[in-house]
Amino acid sequence: MRSFLLLVCCIAFSSAAFSCSAQTKEIQTGASQLATGPGSSPVELASKQTGLVVNQSSVVGNTHLVELLLQQGLQVKKIFSPEHGFRGTADAGAKVENSIDPQTGLAVFSLYGKDKKPPAEALEGINLLIFDLQDVGVRYYTYLSTLHYVMEAAAEQNIPLLVLDRPNPNGAYVDGPVLDKNYQSFVGLHPIPLLHGMTLGELALMIKGEGWINKAEQLKLYVLPVKNYQRDMPYELPVRPSPNLPNAQAVALYPSLGFFEATPLSIGRGTDFPFQVLGYTNPPLGKFAFSPVPKVGAALHPPLKNQLVLGLDLREVKAGGLDLSYLIQAQAVFATHQLTLFNAPDFMDKLSGSSKLRQQLEQGWTEPQIRQSWQSELMKFRQQRQPYLLYPDHH
């Protein structure tokens, strides 16, 4: 059923917003349009008791969205924060407790602690939710799962949801295995490819339209799209979306290196170049030497902590999309030494969306063979996502 209520609003404003040297026109995120005043919103804001789903990436220039809306006199009542917390300083996977934000005095309800979904009592008195998080376009990045549960809670409590859209820095790619619903988890809830090539605004429309949440037809969903944006544009994030994605290279390598979270290898957590290296102690994966150490706000317990790691320095490689060569190389080295690469096989299967990729790697499949195995599902997904796309593909 694709007959659903939604309002997609895209209004021209000439406000200051993020710039990117590769573009002739200035990209304006949904948040930057909202910053020009409530009149740019597709839903009336002035009378609403608002809850914001935000973190450190929810900024317009150097100003946080929370401050901008408070300056406009809007009634911001509560903040809901995803993995890594409201200010983005919690370690990956670390539970985040509810708190009070010292700068604004607002209550912060954690969606990465006891609750992943806002319970009814946390939404009491709120009659509008605004979602503004910077995603990186990879299925296992958990902000998409937070969006899913916020949408479901909004539908169940009959609260309108406004998604302020942001570019997808990996938006040019649709690639990787499509998730099998038997492997749903917080690192993958939807039957979409690892690289889906969509923004969170587009995915919100798809989640509702495909009925992937409870009471989807009841949700009043509004999306404020990015202006002057095409999905294949290079877009360097103005703020790191999470502690261990510090730059464009890390974001570009993330789809390929994220799988190594299910192995004993280091991908640079606890260094100054997370998600830009790959290595192990014995057997070594290369000659580049580094030693992970605890880093407050990024990696308190990094894999191979305080050990000499030898591997690959990927800071200067041309990165983009999904590169399976790192997994294939590591699997070959470990197999030669009669070692198991995937020491957390269940987690690997959740990350990849089924057991197929892990089994293909263990059986020695080549990259072309593995890629061929998911082509028909990718073709179906491209057709399925078509009604929900807000941005053109080509310059």
pLDDT value of position 194: 98
Q: Structure pTM?
A: 0.92
pLDDT value of position 394: 61
Tell me the helix, strand and coil percentages in the chain, rounded to 5.
30, 15, 55
Protein fold of 6-238+382-388: Rossmann fold (3.40.50)
323 token code pair: 């590169």
pLDDT value of position 346: 98
pLDDT value of position 55: 95
CA distance 198 to 200: 7
DSSP-assigned letters across all residues of 37-84: -GGG-SS--TT-EEEEEE-TT-EETTEEHHHHHHHTT-EEEEEEE-TT
Other Cβ atoms less than 10 A from the Cβ of 16: the count is 12
pLDDT value of position 12: 30
Cα dihedral 342, 279, 322, 329 in deg (nearest 10): -70
pLDDT value of position 364: 97
| Longest Cα separation, the chain | 66
- Sequence-distant (6+) residues with CB within 8 A of 191 are 178, 179, 180, 181, 381
Other Cβ atoms less than 10 A from the Cβ of 1: the count is 8
383 token code pair: 């057709």
- pLDDT tens track, the chain, 395 positions: 443 334 444 333 222 333 333 345 899 999 999 988 778 899 999 999 999 999 999 999 999 999 999 999 999 999 999 998 898 777 777 788 899 998 899 999 999 989 999 999 999 999 999 999 999 999 999 999 999 999 999 999 999 999 999 999 999 999 999 999 999 999 999 999 999 999 999 999 999 999 999 999 999 999 999 999 999 888 989 999 999 999 999 999 999 999 999 999 999 999 999 999 999 999 999 999 999 999 988 888 999 999 999 999 999 999 999 999 999 999 999 999 999 999 999 999 999 999 999 999 999 999 999 999 999 999 999 999 999 999 987 64
CA distance 97 to 120: 18
User: 132 near 147, Cβ under 8 Å?
Assistant: no
pLDDT value of position 7: 46
Domain ranges of the chain: 6-238+382-388, 248-364
